[in-house]
Amino acid sequence: MTAKTFRGGAHPPEQKDRSSGLAVERLRDVKQVVIPVNQHFGAPLQPLVKVGDYVKRGQKIADADGRMTVPVHASLAGIVKKIEPRTQSNNLDGPCIIIEAKQPEPVDGVVESTDDFMPPLDPFVCSKEEALARIRAAGIVGMGGAGFPTHVKLAPSKPISYVIANGAECEPYLTIDERTMIERPEDVVEGVAITMKIVNAPEGIIAVEENKMHAIPLLEKAIASSPRTRAGMKIRVQLLKTKYPQGGEKMLITAITGKEVPSGGLPMDVGCVVQNIGTLCAMVEAFRDGKPLIERGLTITGGACTKPANVIAPIGTPVADIIAAGLTAVDDEALRRIIYGGPMMGVAVPNYAIPVQKNTSGVLFMNEEEAVHYEEETCIRCGRCMRACPIRISPALLAVSVETGDYKEAEKIGLLDCIECGSCSFVCPAHRHLVQKFRVGKQILRTIKQKEAQNAR
């Protein structure tokens, strides 16, 4: 099988060996969860519970009207202790519902179930509208990135040719997708088939980087034995070169189909839907078991992590409690930085009391060597950043526009197309803080454009 790829990119040290061989362990007997009310890309939710309420596992606890919303559910049964702002994995304070575990009192000697799941639903029999409603009701969002609502992604306004399962997992250190493909290949294949059915796509492709070759025979076996492929659905594995950011939606689509998502466009513009591996498994559970998205897998690792792990934890579990349970461990003396997410696109946070969220793919405990901070030097115009940029803009020129506040020029060069992958910063010999400038610059440019739009009304 020939490995495909995209132009540009970088090769940061993979650092996956620490956790790639470790089976996923489930965290049990969680005492308390801190569930952020807003974990998705879209309009804010309102809590549906109040302090003192008893909630079951899987019960909806926050929701709102509107297409760009997905409900949030209790990830354990217990009492709502507080509803208050707490620091979230994006390092911002936001409203959280704090639930303390409690078993219900027996009635006539019988303890009723503490789960509140939906009835199973067959996605291959129900209508598209019913399937999308189930995905929303289960609170499913893209679990690899910004938390985009999955029911919106799966209602494209254009015909879809390919469903692509994103098994690239190109961020260094992270191995939870790799472990999921190894341990649950049947669910990955079933998730692709469900997505194909919903968006009416003729082909499903599971994209895997070369550094995860050992997952391929397992996926191929699951494809061959799937009742969906036996009934005629076309699903295959595609090998990709190991390169960062191979798992970016646009890079994945270009590598596999040769098509380029236009500037400002979406995958559906070139007939593609890309799904995260964890999201596919969450969809399978939502249909098969009626289970909402109340837990997720994540990798905990890094140079200051003395017990790396791949873990399934209830949404809202403070990472400190995963440590307390002994599933992972950290050397506090060696610890210099904590990152929620991967090292290239993750967010540095002040402590590990911050809870696991729907989009927390990993937590990194970084030591001195990994967390080294370089002072910026003057650009030497070497062009390395330009060669590394997967969307082929000139990061050096873009940085000048952002630094001088020339946002018209920055937009022209492609500021809003920047996917914030950090490849340019990684390869820059002058240690220019390029991606950091672009993150801030994008926010400023969006604010400017919003104001312009308001004034034009």
Q: Which residues bind ligand SF4 (CB under 6 A)?
A: 379-385, 388-391, 393, 395-396, 418-424, 427-430, 432, 434-435, 438
Residue 437 CB, nearest approach to ligand SF4 (Å): 10
Residue 254 CB, nearest approach to ligand SF4 (Å): 13
Identify which of residues 95 and 390 has a Cβ nearer to ligand SF4 in the complex.
Answer: 390
Q: What distances in angstroms separate CA 316 from CA 38, 80, 101, 301, 443, one per listed residue?
A: 12, 13, 12, 19, 28
Residue 250 CB, nearest approach to ligand SF4 (Å): 9
Residue 387 CB, nearest approach to ligand SF4 (Å): 9
Closest among 317, 319, 314 to 292, alpha carbons compared: 314
Residue the block writes with tokens 């060597």: 369
Identify which of residues 86 and 384 has a Cβ nearer to ligand SF4 in the complex.
Answer: 384
Structure tokens at 126: 């129900």
Quote the CA–CA distance of 390 and 203 in Å, as a whole number: 26
- The C-alpha R_g of the chain, in whole angstroms, comes to 22
CA angle 249, 276, 143 (to 5 degrees): 110
Identify which of residues 118 and 347 has a Cβ nearer to ligand SF4 in the complex.
Answer: 347
Identify which of residues 252 and 391 has a Cβ nearer to ligand SF4 in the complex.
Answer: 391
Q: Report the first-to-last Cα separation within the chain, whole angstroms.
A: 55
Q: How many helices (H) and strands (E) does the chain have?
A: 15, 19
Quote the CA–CA distance of 117 and 368 in Å, as a whole number: 45
Q: How many CA atoms lie within 13 A of 415 on its CB side?
A: 28
Residue 421 CB, nearest approach to ligand SF4 (Å): 4
Residue 239 CB, nearest approach to ligand SF4 (Å): 24
Q: Are 425 and 398 in contact (CB under 8 A)?
A: no
Identify which of residues 35 and 424 has a Cβ nearer to ligand SF4 in the complex.
Answer: 424
Identify which of residues 141 and 393 has a Cβ nearer to ligand SF4 in the complex.
Answer: 393
Residue 299 CB, nearest approach to ligand SF4 (Å): 23
Q: Name the helix (H) or strand (E) containing 32.
A: strand 32-36
Quote the CA–CA distance of 365 and 175 in Å, as a whole number: 15
Identify which of residues 71 and 248 has a Cβ nearer to ligand SF4 in the complex.
Answer: 248
